[in-house]
């Protein structure tokens, strides 16, 4: 206790002593007398003693409100006594030496830099200069300099730049003086003007007198000299001077010498300093050339390989890797042109924009002259990468936020006359239908009895964390690895044609024999290795006039007993059984089920207990469409592609079911990116090891697939396929080049291609080398998708996440800025992944995300139309318009039939609010279609909540706004070569027909005073996780700018936040924290902003679904799949019901807990049974 008290008294005493001494010093400053220089010297000496001995004194001097620093600096500025100056400099050094940069910042804000520079200038006039004073001055300047952004300008204005330089020149052997002088020169050199000025006075040459080969002496001086040189060489003028004097070779020699002698790695900082100098000098083209000429690539490659074994040397390896990547000679892509392989002649050529630029490009724009002297340091990639969402909406670039209040305020502008908009009246027959000829006696759901030609429907694939290994006893169960023998006869049939046979009696006779033989084959036949050996692609090459199947029309028949609409063939097909025939020409095989239905028994029981007897009424999507292989082929025949595809990809034909296992976000192995980059660099160093053989080429019409057994075969000539060229680099490594969007020369990200001819037990590396985005979720755990035909034949038809050693990085291929349309970033990026195949001679497909083709959409819409109950559901499938290629853009209307044809029921039917949904404006965002699929199937289901939803709203849905882009494998554009989601302000009816007419529908609704309650455009996001929404808010936009929202007298209804908030509580994948309601200038032509601003829909959204996975909620750490995406679509519908309950509680006649029960059922009961791995397709 006494000790504590004594310590406290001592502290108070020291504090009072400091205050007393500072007061004395202040008095001396105010009343200076010549004889009092001794007093100032005495007082500063005592203060120095206190500062050196007590941290409390140092804190007190720089604490808020203290005047200690001002008094000290004032004394320093006014005194002429050398000892007082030395005392004060020592005091300041002690203060800033401990306590981090905050104390140095305090000294800067008090004007310390200017005072010290003036003192340096006056001290330099002494002859000879006071060494002690110079050392202290430079030491202090070196400490506070980094905290003063303007120190370079201040030094130049005060004329002190050359003082430090001259001190170094004349005192090279005086290391005590040279060291702080070099530190100050390093600080000065952060200013480019200063660096050039110092360079002209010989500072670069001076640095090379200090640095040299390995030596254990003066290593501190060597380190500081290297840091100073690296800062100086960031100036292009100094870098050129260094190249001219041959210093690149000298630096490489010094680096190798230190690398060889520093066997214990004690001088890593010096070695890194040399590399930093090389990195600075290679920022210019001349430096890169000198580096290559000096064999720098091989030197750094060899030294970095020797450092790999020691983890602490990673900074050296990473810096070496960066230098080598930067100096790797830039090449153009090995293509005749970066324009798309395919061309579509537009009906109108725009006067301006990217398409006009493309048409006016000179012929040689693809030739890449080596990079300008751009500094690439900003793109340094460290191995310990942390995920930084460059799209994070909480931190917008202020210059992109709309600040004009007049532009932000929504204003209804139809833009077209009422007479012109009347053309859209035909798409709203529900507003005039009187239902007098309809039989609407009962609104009770009719039992669903499927057509004999259809397999049982799939229940909506919604997500669930756990799955049971026991199948629902109410469905025909199947074991995990074997198909049900009861369904073999019906479900094993497949189309007989992969090459569609010509119509002749001989062929028909052989098919009957094949069918007889097929029925005799054991089920194990489908597992034979001989299956894949005979595997051929499904082909549609034969013309329709020679193909009897293509001539079979389909008519809609009504089954009175079932009360539903079913699809039937108008005449029998000789070559195709209801579910198809043999898969392979010349061989008959049996296939297991490709679909399954039902609910896990355990979960059904759980749901039954949780729903308190309402379980039977809450089955979701009991009319969900199943995948129909034959119907898919029928849809494909009417799909028009620019390349005139004649083949069908197996995944699209067989269909996809979600795998029964979770797919976690991949944990990236340490150093994988560095390893891949080193392997790329080896191409330049060991050129003889590179095969460089083209194995697939769309640009060469006469190209034939290589026949070698050890070479993979590639193909992408099918709907939504995208692969332009493949080059074999090493035995098991291939470079892949994607095709540009049609009528464009960029937008490379979406890929979908086929690989065959593989062997097992071998890791094949695939490099997609012409990606354009600067970052990707492939760096943060996302994997590409693969579909194995062998697995599909084994009753496991699914896309699965595959690949190891995945990373995304900048490569050495480049394009000219002219060819890039003036875009920033002329370099391409590589997606690389390694795959080891499970089956020999398999046929596998790889995709950026789960494919969903235009023909798949048509098939699903046809199945929905044929399977719904017309007495319960009002369903219309119209053609909104024709696309540029002549494909139909579908428009779907869904609502509930009126209870009867009485006036009050018809009135309620016609006056339901509209919900307007759209999707797939960007072809590469296939996840949007899977979410839309979940929405459509939920809306068409027989659950009470779905019925209530239909009774509450009329849904107008455009499920695919860009059919041409989807069909032709584009990533972002339509055939016009433009991003359709940037055309909503002024769509051209000739170039953007789907957008023009979609906007026309909304304008028509606005004209008749029937604005949609909600507009939502479904999208996918490539660089963020989770599902989230973008909306529009004036106030939230203004909050992100310097404009005060309160001063604008804004009154804004916050209802735009209601739906996202609801979804954040009901949908596991949805993240409210990622939502944004800010309006940006760059998005002013998007659907979301135009529908909000011009049409006047307050709840106008873009719903973005991740391509990767989730980092929050129930699915945290998992990659997203079709099950979760479809669940999101269903949960969106549940959210609309909750929105209805919030806005119209009196109209809502369901029990209050019914929505919660429905939400639970979507997550548990209503899903594809995961343990039924054998799946049936109709």
Is-catalytic flag, 1104? yes
Using CA atoms, how far residue 975 sits from 751, 958, 962, 982, 1114, in Å, is 18, 19, 9, 14, 40
149-187 burial, b at 16+ Cβ within 10 Å, e below that, comes to eebbebbeebebbebbbebbbebeeeeebbbbbbbbbbb
Quick count: other Cβ atoms within 10 Å of Cβ 532? 18
**How many residues are given for the chain?**
1178
How many of the other CB atoms lie within 10 Å of CB of 1064?
20
Task: Residue 834: name the closest of 799, 811, 806 by CA.
Answer: 806
Per DSSP, helices labelled H in 409-529 are: 418-421, 488-491, 505-520
- Please list the residues that pair with 835 across neighbouring strands: 764
User: Half-sphere exposure of 1021 toward its Cβ, with a 13 Å CA cutoff?
Assistant: 22
**Dihedral sign, Cα of residue 657, residue 661, residue 662, residue 665:** negative
Among the listed residues 1104, 1126, 1127, 1158, the single catalytic one is 1104
Candidates 692, 698, 44, 18; CA nearest to 342 is 698
Contact 1132, 917 (CB under 8 A): no
Could you tell me the two tokens for 670?
């340490």
Q: Which residues of 916-949 are buried (b: 16+ CB within 10 A; e: fewer)?
A: bbbbbbbbbbbbbbbbbbbbbbbbbbbbbbbbbb
Task: Supply φ then ψ for residue 864, to 5 degrees.
Answer: -60, -45
Can you tell me the distance from the alpha carbon of 893 to that of 955, in angstroms, rounded to the nearest whole number?
6
Question: What are the helix (H) ranges across 201-313?
Answer: 203-210, 219-232, 236-244, 247-261, 268-281, 285-293, 296-307
Q: What is the per-residue burial (b if ≥16 Cβ within 10 Å, else e) of 403-430?
A: beeeebebeeebebeeeebeebeebbeb
Number of helices and strands in the chain (H, E): 42, 22
Query: Per DSSP, what are the bridge partners of residue 696?
Result: 726
Instruction: Report the Cα 156 to chain-centroid distance in Å.
Output: 46
> Is residue 462 within 8 Å of 883, Cβ to Cβ?
no
Q: Is 1110 helix (H, G, I), strand (E, B) or coil?
A: strand
3-state secondary structure 89-153: HHHHHHHHHCCCHHHHHHHHHCCHHHHHHHHHHHHCCCCCCCHHHHHHHHHHHHHHHHHCCCHHH
Both tokens of 487, joined, read 């369904």
Cβ-contact 1136, 916 below 8 angstroms: no
**For residues 41 and 43, what is the distance between their CA atoms, to the nearest angstrom?**
6
Q: How far apart are the C-alpha atoms of 950 and 990, rounded to whole Å?
A: 35
* Joined tokens for residue 879: 């053609």
Q: Which residues are catalytic?
A: 1104
């Amino acid at each position: 206790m006494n000790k504590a008290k004594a310590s406290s008294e001592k502290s108070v005493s020291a504090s009072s002593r400091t205050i007393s001494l500072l007061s004395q010093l202040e008095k001396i400053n105010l009343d200076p007398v010549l004889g009092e220089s001794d007093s100032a010297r005495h007082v500063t000496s005592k203060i120095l003693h206190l500062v050196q001995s007590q941290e409390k004194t140092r804190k007190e001097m720089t604490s808020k409100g203290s005047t200690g620093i001002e008094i000290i600096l004032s004394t320093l500025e006014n005194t002429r006594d050398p000892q007082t100056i030395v005392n004060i400099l020592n005091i300041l050094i002690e203060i800033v030496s401990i306590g981090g940069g905050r104390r140095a910042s305090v000294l800067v804000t008090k004007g310390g830099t200017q005072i010290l520079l003036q003192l340096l200038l006056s001290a330099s006039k002494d002859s000879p200069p006071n060494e002690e004073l110079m050392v202290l001055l430079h030491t202090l300047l070196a400490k506070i300099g980094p905290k003063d952004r303007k120190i370079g300008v201040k030094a130049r204005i005060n004329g002190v730049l050359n003082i430090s330089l001259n001190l170094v020149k004349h005192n090279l052997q005086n290391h005590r003086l040279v060291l702080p002088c070099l530190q100050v020169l390093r600080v000065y050199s952060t200013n480019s003007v200063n660096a050039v000025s110092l360079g002209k006075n010989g500072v670069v040459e001076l640095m090379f007198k200090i640095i040299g080969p390995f030596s254990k002496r003066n290593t501190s001086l060597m380190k500081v000299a290297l840091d100073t040189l690296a800062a100086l060489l960031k100036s292009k003028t100094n870098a050129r001077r260094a190249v001219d004097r041959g210093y690149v070779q000298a630096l490489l020699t010094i680096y190798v010498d230190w690398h060889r002698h520093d066997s214990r790695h004690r001088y890593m900082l010096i070695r890194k300093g040399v590399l930093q100098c090389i990195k600075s000098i290679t920022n210019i083209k001349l430096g890169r050339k000198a580096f290559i000429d000096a064999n720098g690539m091989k030197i750094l490659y060899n030294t970095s390989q020797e450092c790999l074994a020691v983890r602490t040397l990673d900074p050296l390896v990473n810096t070496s890797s960066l230098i080598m990547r930067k100096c790797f000679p830039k090449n153009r892509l090995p293509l005749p042109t970066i324009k798309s392989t395919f061309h579509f002649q537009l009906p109108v050529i725009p006067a301006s924009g990217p398409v006009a630029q493309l048409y006016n490009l000179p012929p040689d724009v693809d030739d890449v002259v080596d990079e300008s002297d751009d500094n690439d340091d900003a793109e340094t990639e460290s191995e310990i990468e942390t995920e930084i969402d460059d799209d994070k909406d909480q931190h917008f670039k202020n210059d992109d936020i709309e600040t004009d209040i007049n532009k932000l305020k929504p204003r209804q502008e139809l833009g077209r006359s009422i007479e012109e908009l009347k053309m859209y009246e035909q798409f709203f027959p529900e507003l005039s239908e009187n239902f007098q000829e309809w039989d609407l006696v009962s609104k009770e759901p009719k039992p669903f009895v499927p057509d004999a030609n259809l397999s049982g429907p799939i229940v909506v694939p919604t997500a669930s964390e756990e799955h049971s290994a026991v199948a629902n006893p109410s469905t025909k169960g199947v074991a995990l690895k074997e198909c049900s023998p009861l369904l073999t006869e019906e479900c094993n049939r497949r189309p007989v044609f992969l090459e569609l046979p010509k119509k002749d009696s001989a062929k028909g006779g052989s098919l009957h024999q094949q069918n007889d033989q097929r029925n005799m084959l054991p089920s194990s036949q489908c597992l034979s290795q001989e299956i894949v050996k005979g595997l051929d692609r499904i082909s549609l090459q034969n013309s329709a006039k020679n193909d009897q199947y293509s001539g079979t029309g389909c008519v809609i028949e009504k089954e009175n007993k079932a009360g539903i609409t079913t699809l039937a063939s108008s005449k029998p097909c000789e070559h195709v059984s209801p579910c198809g025939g043999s898969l392979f020409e010349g061989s008959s095989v049996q296939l297991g089920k490709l679909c399954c239905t039902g609910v896990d028994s355990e979960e059904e029981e759980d749901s039954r207990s949780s729903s308190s007897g309402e379980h039977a009424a809450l089955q979701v999507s009991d009319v969900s469409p199943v995948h129909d292989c034959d119907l898919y082929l029928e849809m494909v025949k009417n799909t028009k592609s620019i390349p005139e595809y004649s083949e069908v990809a197996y995944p699209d034909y067989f269909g996809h079911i979600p795998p029964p296992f979770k797919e976690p976000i991949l944990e990236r192995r340490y150093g994988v990116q560095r390893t891949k980059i080193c392997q790329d660099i080896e191409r330049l160093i060991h050129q003889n090891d590179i095969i460089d053989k083209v194995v697939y080429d769309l640009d060469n019409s006469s190209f034939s697939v290589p026949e070698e057994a050890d070479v993979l075969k590639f193909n992408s000539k099918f709907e939504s396929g995208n692969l332009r060229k493949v080059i074999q680099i090493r035995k098991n490594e291939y470079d892949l080049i994607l095709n540009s969007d049609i009528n464009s020369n960029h937008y490379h990200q979406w890929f979908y291609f086929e690989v065959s001819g593989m062997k097992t037990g071998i890791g094949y590396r695939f490099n997609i080398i012409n990606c354009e985005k600067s970052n990707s979720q492939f760096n943060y755990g996302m994997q590409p998708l693969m579909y194995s035909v062998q697995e599909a034949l084994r009753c496991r038809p699914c896309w699965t996440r595959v690949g190891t050693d995945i990373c995304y990085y900048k490569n050495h291929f480049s394009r000219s800025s002219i060819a890039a349309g003036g875009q920033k970033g002329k370099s391409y990026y590589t997606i690389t992944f390694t795959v080891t195949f499970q089956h020999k001679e398999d046929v596998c497909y790889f995709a950026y995300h789960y494919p969903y083709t235009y023909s798949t959409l048509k098939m699903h819409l046809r199945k929905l139309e044929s399977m719904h109950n017309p007495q319960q559901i009002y369903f219309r499938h119209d053609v909104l318009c024709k696309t540029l290629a002549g494909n139909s853009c579908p428009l779907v209307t869904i609502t509930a039939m009126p209870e009867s044809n009485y006036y009050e029921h018809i009135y309620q039917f016609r006056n339901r609010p509209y919900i307007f949904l759209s999707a797939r404006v960007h072809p590469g965002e296939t996840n949007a279609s899977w979410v839309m699929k979940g929405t459509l199937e939920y809306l068409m289901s027989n659950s009470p909540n779905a019925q209530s939803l239909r009774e509450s709203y009329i849904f107008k849905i455009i499920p695919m706004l860009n059919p041409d882009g989807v069909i032709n494998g584009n990533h972002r554009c339509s055939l016009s070569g433009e991003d359709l989601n940037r055309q909503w302000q002024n769509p051209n009816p000739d170039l953007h027909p789907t957008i023009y007419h979609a906007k026309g529908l909304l304008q028509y609704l606005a004209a008749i005073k029937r604005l949609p309650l909600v507009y939502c455009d479904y999208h996918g996001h490539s660089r963020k996780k989770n599902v989230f929404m973008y909306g529009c808010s004036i106030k939230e936009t203004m909050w992100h700018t310097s404009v005060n929202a309160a001063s604008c007298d804004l009154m804004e209804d916050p209802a735009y936040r209601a739906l996202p908030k609801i979804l954040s509580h009901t949908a596991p994948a949805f993240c409210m924290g990622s939502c944004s309601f800010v309006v940006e200038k760059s998005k002013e032509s998007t659907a979301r902003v135009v529908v909000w601003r011009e049409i006047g829909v307050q709840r106008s959204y873009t719903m973005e679904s991740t391509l990767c996975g989730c980092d929050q909620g129930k699915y945290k750490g998992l990659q997203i799949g079709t099950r979760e995406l479809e669940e999101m679509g269903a949960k969106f519908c549940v959210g609309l019901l909750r929105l209805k309950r919030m806005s119209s509680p009196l109209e809502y006649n369901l029990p209050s807990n019914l929505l919660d029960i429905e939400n639970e059922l979507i997550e548990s009961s209503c899903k594809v049974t995961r343990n039924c791995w054998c799946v049936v397709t109709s």
